[in-house]
Amino acid sequence: MTDATISQVLSDANLLQAWYKVKSNDGCAGIDGVYLSSFERNLFSKLALLKDEVLYQTYRPKPLLRVYIPKKSGGMRPLSIPAVRDRVLQTAVSLIITPVFEAEFEECSYAYRRGRSVKMAVEKISQLRDQGFTWVVDADIKSYFDEIDHDRLMIEVKKLITDEEIIRLIKLWLQAVIRDGERIEFVKKGVPQGSPVSPLLANLYLDKFDEAMLGRNFRLIRFSDDFVILCKSKKRAEKAMEFTEQVLQSLKLRINKTKTDIPTFKRGFRFLGVDFIRSLTIKAQYPTIIPEEIDFGTLAEIPAKIPELDGQETSADKSHEILPETSMAEAFTAAGVAPDDFPDTSPPMVDHFDSSPDDGADVKRVNHDPLLRTLYMFTPGVVLGKESERFTIRRAGKVVQRILAIKVDQVMVYGNIQITTQAMQFCIAEKIPIFLLSGHGKFYGIIDGFDTDPVLLHRDQFNRAADEQFCLDLAKALLRGKIVNSRVLLLRQKRRRSSDILSNSIGHLKRSLGKLEKAITLNEIRGYEGSAARVYFQALATLFDPDWRFSGRRKKPPPDPINSLFSYGYTLLYYNLYSLVRGRGLNPHVGFLHPVRPGHPALVSDIIEEFRAIVVDTVVLNLVLNRRIIPDDFTVPTDARQPCLLGERSKSLFVRELEKKLNSRLIYPANDQKLDYRRCMEHQVLHLARVIQGKDETYRPLILR
């Protein structure tokens, strides 16, 4: 079983699956008054913010909202409802840790586990009865959910979960604050009934009980906190009862004496909604868990049962199966967890590989990885393969490196490198794009799967691309971001040196912004952008020593080291953005500023504009002005038709520094959160998707100050 990690929890696929589960519950708002419909507005931004709060350890759950539902036996049962955002995160954690916990659970446990049911428990009881086990310890645990000891529970959790951030989240949820009208309650023990993660933790806590009973060879059948122990004699049943009390006492739990008995099949007993009398099993006419007479205004406070999400039909028997009325059953139902919601295996896991921030970066994070983990392959002659759960890299037939396949988000292949069919099939199935480039960084193509999931977004995208006014407005916003960020970079350089050229260029860019806003055609906009870009690069040329031979931007081919660095950096940034655009459901080939042409990801060309100066140009200036890269690191062609080439040392250094930049943080203006550059890029992609769908009114570029 693969270890559960916070990266798996916070993967886009897992968070979305968690959201759809929570949404299917149709539950009410929590203490913050945010309803499901409100949370769904700007959904991707909210999920991204939730992810970042966890990564940067600023996440704190909101107080739980106390509500009451009638118990069939009389009185009221309290439920504690988390805010929608907390329900989403708890569900995301549950999806990942359930397979790990499931592997630990015993066969005698039947409650809310995939592939296990009341019917199976009843059949097991009948089987044991026919084998001569006719004495029964029919027991119930007193106030089980309210009595679970946190310290003992966390000991068991830590045996299965090693990820410190997941452990921290579980502790936060256990140490909940409950708001009951004007009264505040601090949870010291027990797990809050109504939280998605609580039933899973409650099941884990009783796993020790299961092991102890089975270790003494007792025939235990347990459904959450309701259980029976079948024995062949009264004496054995009495010993089972005595041992049960001892084990529960060690867990700081007690038997509910009023609901515990030692009957026989001859006398009969009721368990799991079934009456067992002699050799008969008769389904009792239990009421539904939540009676119809409950006020539906109150019922709206409680998340409903989640339907199947995997496309499988529910059998008629299962859909009519009566669930026992136990506290855990009610808590599972209140939390919106159905038996079949527990997966057999963990969902697809998204993690990152080999793109870690440097020690000096502003990265106060736990287990923080880049948003996109990139496998860069430079060495000619190696073969990328796939064996079991790992990518393999072979040289001369020998494996030189193994990499967990789930820890790769994209692959960049440079030059003469082979890829096996197994590796390609895995990447296509897992939506991991493979970018094919020459050894010098020239782009050839992409190996990528065909995805029809976001077809409605694509439809909106095509419709918007045909709307001239929309294209004009969006193009202005994108280029405003580019020009302002270019101007900011020049202003920062001007603080370090006095230069008339820099001053004049800064003024020119400011005037270009005014002209841009008055433009009435895309061609006019492109003209102003081209003029601003020429002035910008001419200003940059004054910053470099003469031995760099840079006078302005030239790209096909790049004739000098500086242009070579710019081209290489833009290529890497371009395909990072391609992965984000593709992964967030947009069609990368349908743009609004750059004209659509076959084979050209025009939308990526649009979005990259606001990031060129603040990412790539900043890295180039840092490396060149600090002489960390020198002209001798390049091969300058004698033929003007050939490109200037980066040496292996400069190429590796540049990739490391670019990754370091992408992993460094800044204040993202839209929400004032500290995010790394890749996450800022992701936010902008999601924001653009919402503008295309009409959910956000206008596009706001990322602009540095």
Q: Which of 139, 65, 527, 513 is nearest to 302 (CA)?
A: 65
Quote the pLDDT of residue 195: 87
Say if residue 298's pLDDT is above 60: no
Say if residue 161's pLDDT is above 50: yes
What is the tens place of the pLDDT at every residue in 681-695? Answer: 888 998 999 999 998
Instruction: Check: CB of residue 153 under 8 Å from CB of residue 251.
Output: no
Instruction: Find the mean pLDDT for residues 625-643.
Output: 86
Domains of the chain (ranges plus CATH)?
A: 1-104+165-180 (no CATH), 106-149+189-286 (3.30.70.270), 374-447 (3.100.10.20), 454-693 (1.20.120.920)
Quote the pLDDT of residue 671: 74
The more confidently predicted of residues 604 and 438 is 604
Both tokens assigned to 322: 């009566």
Dist. CA 89–CA 98, nearest whole Å: 14
Instruction: Find the mean pLDDT for residues 184-213.
Output: 89
Cα-based distances in Å from 484 to 60, 68, 74, 491, 510: 36, 55, 67, 10, 8
pLDDT range class, residue 73, cuts 50, 70, 90: low
Q: What are the percentages of helix, strand and coil residues in the chain, rounded to 5?
A: 45, 15, 40
Instruction: Residue 347: count other Cβ atoms within 10 Å of its Cβ.
Output: 17
Dist. CA 338–CA 329, nearest whole Å: 9
| Torsional class of 549: left (φ above 0), alpha (ψ -120 to 50), beta (otherwise) | left
Residue showing tokens 């992964």: 583
Both tokens assigned to 680: 């800022």
| Torsional class of 74: left (φ above 0), alpha (ψ -120 to 50), beta (otherwise) | left
Instruction: Check: CB of residue 629 under 8 Å from CB of residue 649.
Output: no
Instruction: Residue 460: count other Cβ atoms within 10 Å of its Cβ.
Output: 17
Stretch (H or E) spanning 51: helix 43-55
Nearest 10 degrees: Cα torsion 598, 451, 16, 35:
70
Q: How far apart are the first and last CA of the chain?
A: 47
Quote the pLDDT of residue 346: 31
Residue showing tokens 């347990």: 222
Instruction: Find the mean pLDDT for residues 542-558.
Output: 88
Instruction: Check: CB of residue 34 under 8 Å from CB of residue 84.
Output: yes
Q: Could you write out the DSSP letters of every residue in 448-476?
A: -----TTHHHHHHHHHHHT-HHHHHHHHH
> Looking at this protein, which amino acid is placed at residue 79?
L
Instruction: Check: CB of residue 658 under 8 Å from CB of residue 426.
Output: no
The more confidently predicted of residues 416 and 82 is 82
Say if residue 623's pLDDT is above 90: yes
Dist. CA 214–CA 368, nearest whole Å: 42
Cis upstream peptide for 557 (omega within 30°): yes
Half-sphere exposure of 98 (CA within 13 A, CB side): 26
Angle at 696 (CA atoms; ends 695, 697), nearest 5 degrees: 115
Task: Let me know if 288 is exposed, middle or buried by CB neighbors in 10 A (0-12, 13-18, 19+).
Answer: exposed
Quote the pLDDT of residue 328: 46
Cα-based distances in Å from 87 to 16, 50, 84: 12, 11, 5
Instruction: Find the mean pLDDT for residues 500-524.
Output: 91
The more confidently predicted of residues 383 and 181 is 383
Cα-based distances in Å from 613 to 215, 460, 575: 66, 30, 16
Both tokens assigned to 153: 């529970």
pLDDT range class, residue 500, cuts 50, 70, 90: confident
Contacts of 566 (CB under 8 A, 6+ apart): 553, 555, 558, 616, 617, 620
Contacts of 397 (CB under 8 A, 6+ apart): none
Task: Let me know if 83 is exposed, middle or buried by CB neighbors in 10 A (0-12, 13-18, 19+).
Answer: buried
| Average pLDDT taken over every residue of the chain | 81
Q: Could you write out the DSSP letters of every residue in 55-117?
A: HTT---PPPEEEEEEE-TTSSEEEEEEPPHHHHHHHHHHHHHHHHHHHTTS-TTB-TT-TT--
Instruction: Residue 22: count other Cβ atoms within 10 Å of its Cβ.
Output: 27
Residue showing tokens 């003029």: 531
Say if residue 499's pLDDT is above 60: yes
Say if residue 262's pLDDT is above 70: yes
Instruction: Check: CB of residue 431 under 8 Å from CB of residue 583.
Output: yes
Say if residue 646's pLDDT is above 50: yes
Q: Which of 108, 72, 99, 100 is nearest to 223 (CA)?
A: 108
Q: 33-72 burial, b for 16+ CB within 10 Å, e for fewer? A: eeebeebeebbbbbbbbbbbebbbeebebbbbbbbebeee
What is the tens place of the pLDDT at every residue in 457-482? Answer: 889 999 999 999 999 999 999 999 99
Both tokens assigned to 311: 């496309």
Angle at 94 (CA atoms; ends 49, 322), nearest 5 degrees: 130
Q: Which of 205, 198, 202, 161 is nearest to 178 (CA)?
A: 198
> Looking at this protein, which amino acid is placed at residue 335?
A
What is the tens place of the pLDDT at every residue in 360-392? Answer: 333 333 334 455 677 888 788 899 998 877 889
pLDDT range class, residue 233, cuts 50, 70, 90: very high
Alpha-carbon dihedral sign for residues 81, 82, 85, 87: negative
Length of the chain: 705
Stretch (H or E) spanning 178: strand 177-180
Quote the pLDDT of residue 68: 80
What is the tens place of the pLDDT at every residue in 35-68? Answer: 887 888 778 878 888 988 888 888 899 999 888 8
**How far from the centroid of its chain's Cα atoms is residue 107's Cα?**
31
Q: Which of 374, 303, 364, 338 is nearest to 79 (CA)?
A: 303
Instruction: Check: CB of residue 86 under 8 Å from CB of residue 62.
Output: yes
Contacts of 495 (CB under 8 A, 6+ apart): none
Q: Could you write out the DSSP letters of every residue in 316-362?
A: HHHHTPPPP--HHHHHHHHHT--GGGS-SSPPP-----S-PPPTTSS
